Amino acid sequence: MRSDNRPPLILTAGAIAGLLFLHLPILLIFLYAFTTDERTYQFPPPGLTTQWFAVAWNRADIWPPLYLSLRVAALSTVMALILGTLCAAAMARSRFFGRDQISLLIILPIALPGIITGMSLRSAFSIMDVPFSTWTILMGHATFCIVIVFNNAVARFRRLSGSIVEASLDLGANGFQTFRHVILPNLGSALLAGGMLAFALSFDEVIVTTFTAGQQSTLPIWMLNELVRPRQRPVTNVVAIVVFVTTFVPILIAYYLTRGGSETAGGGK
C-alpha cells in the first residue's frame, strides 16, 4: 500500500466544501418557514412560530394547484410507464436499422432545454388552435417522463437473463404468460423506481408547464407567482417544504429499490 492513497488535504477540503455548498441552502427553506417576519427575508429570523402551517392549510388558493399537480403527475407517470416500458422492451436486446435514431429521439426531450420543448408545444397548439387544458400540460410531461422510465427499465431488461424467458417458453407458456409471470416480476422494482422518479420530475416541473398550462396553475406555477409577487412569504416556504418532501421521498425510495444494481436510478436526469 502506498501512502499516496490518502487524499491530499486540499482535495478533501474541496470535496467537503462542495457537498456543503450543495446541501446547506435547502436548510434555509425549513428555517424560514418558522420565521415571524412575513415581509422580508431577514436573517436571523426575529422570532419563531409554527402558525404558518395552519395559515397555509387554510389558504384556499393552494389546494386546487396541489390537486392539479398531483393529477398531472399521476397521469403522466402512468403514460410514461406504458410508453417507456414498451420502448425499453424493444430496444434492450435487439439491433435494428434506425435504433440509434430512436434512442436519440427518446432522450431529446430532456437533452434539449425545457424552454425548447415548452415553446415547441406552444407553437404547435397555436398553429392547430388547441385550447389549453389538463391534457396540454400532460402532453409535455408525459413526453419528458418517458426517458426516465426507459432508462430504468432498459437497464433491468439487459440484466434479465434471456434463459429464464426461454425456460418459460419451453415450459409451454405463451408470450403473454411469460410477460405476466416471468418478465414483469423481474422488472417490478425497476418500473416502480422509474415511476417514482417520473412522478417527482412531473410534480416539480415548471418550465415546460408555463408554456402548456394557459391560465391553469400547478403547484410549481403557484410558487413561481408567489416568488415574483410575494404575500405572506413564510406560507411559500411551507409549500416549498411540501414540494420538497413530495419529490424527495420518491427519489429516496427509487434509490433504495435499485441499489446494488448495475444502473442505480437517478444517475441521469
Partner 1 sequence: MTLAADPARDPGHDGVQPSGAILPARGLGDRVSAVFWRHPNVLLATLLALPLLWLVVVYLGSLAALLMQSFYSIDEFSGQIRREFTLSTYAELLRPANMDIIIRTVAMSAAVTLGAVVIAFPIAYFAARYARGHWKALFYLGVMLPLWSSYLVKVYAWKLILAREGIITWATDGIGASAVLNGILALPVIGGNSLSTSYIGTWLVFLYVWLPYMILPMQAALERVPQSMLEASADLGASRWQTMQTVVFPLALPGIIAGSIFTFSLTMGDYIIPQIVGSSRRFIGQAVYQLQGTAGNIPLAAAFAVIPIVIMLIYLTVARRKGAFDAL
Query: Which range of residues in 63-71, 157-165, 187-195, 236-244 is near partner 1 by CB under 8 A?
Result: 236-244
Binder among 76, 77, 143, 258 for partner 1 (CB under 8 A): 143
- Nearer residue to partner 1 within complex by CB, 41 or 57: 41
- Residues touching partner 1: how many (CB under 8 A)? 94
Q: Distance between the two ends of the chain, CA-based, in angstroms? A: 38
What is the pattern of x (binds partner 1, CB under 8 A) and - over residues 181-220?
----------------x--xx--x-xx--xx--------x
Residues 77-106 within binding reach of partner 1 (CB under 8 A): 82-84, 86-87, 89-90, 94, 96, 102, 105-106
User: 156 with 187: CB under 8 angstroms?
Assistant: yes
Residues 166-185 within binding reach of partner 1 (CB under 8 A): 169, 172, 174-177
- Contact between 223 and partner 1 per CB under 8 A: yes
Q: Smallest gap, in angstroms, from Cβ of residue 223 to partner 1? A: 5
- Nearer residue to partner 1 within complex by CB, 4 or 60: 4
- Nearer residue to partner 1 within complex by CB, 74 or 207: 207
- Nearer residue to partner 1 within complex by CB, 55 or 108: 108
Decide: residue 254, CB within 10 A, 0-12 exposed, 13-18 middle, 19+ buried.
buried
- Contact between 46 and partner 1 per CB under 8 A: no
Q: Smallest gap, in angstroms, from Cβ of residue 129 to partner 1? A: 11
Decide: residue 9, CB within 10 A, 0-12 exposed, 13-18 middle, 19+ buried.
exposed
Cβ-proximal residues to 92 (8 Å cutoff; 6+ apart), any chain: 153, 154, 157, 158
Cα distances from 144 to residues 85, 108, 215, in angstroms, run: 14, 8, 22
